[in-house]
Amino acid sequence: MKYTEQHEWLDEDNGIVTVGITAHAAEQLGDIVFVELPEVGIEVSKDDEVVVIESVKAASDILAPLDGEIIEVNDPLTDDPGKVNEDPEGEAWFFKIKVEDLSDLDDYMDDAEYKDFIS
């Protein structure tokens, strides 16, 4: 598992990276009330805004962590945004992205580094 400074977790399997937000981020945001997901099939570049989430406090963007193609999104979140608070690092993933260059993942933090980052 890898982590970004924007508190996304990245779970790579066979060239496909599943992206969600960490439990730490979900707790900081508070109750999530709105999730807007990207369209399946679009090509995105690193740092593109691909997901909008809103909590009771404010709106925030989730950025694409890597260049690639969005191949799947977690549609049920749109109707049940509260799932992001319940299971942020499990069922409440946002999207899956197919990446060309997996070496870009090396730039991100591992478990221990992320733990340091949020402490």
Q: Which is nearer to another protein, 31 or 107 (CB)?
A: 31
- Whose structure tokens read 């992320």? 114
Smaller CB distance to another protein: residue 54 or 89? 54
> Is 36 a residue that touches another protein (CB under 8 A)?
yes
> Rounded to whole angstroms, how far apart are CA atoms 22 and 3?
8
Q: Where are the beta strands (DSSP E) in 5-108?
A: 8-13, 16-21, 32-36, 43-44, 49-55, 59-63, 68-73, 95-98
CB nearer to another protein: give 30 or 90: 30
Residues in touch with another protein (CB under 8 A):
30-31, 33-34, 36, 52, 54, 56-59, 78, 81-82
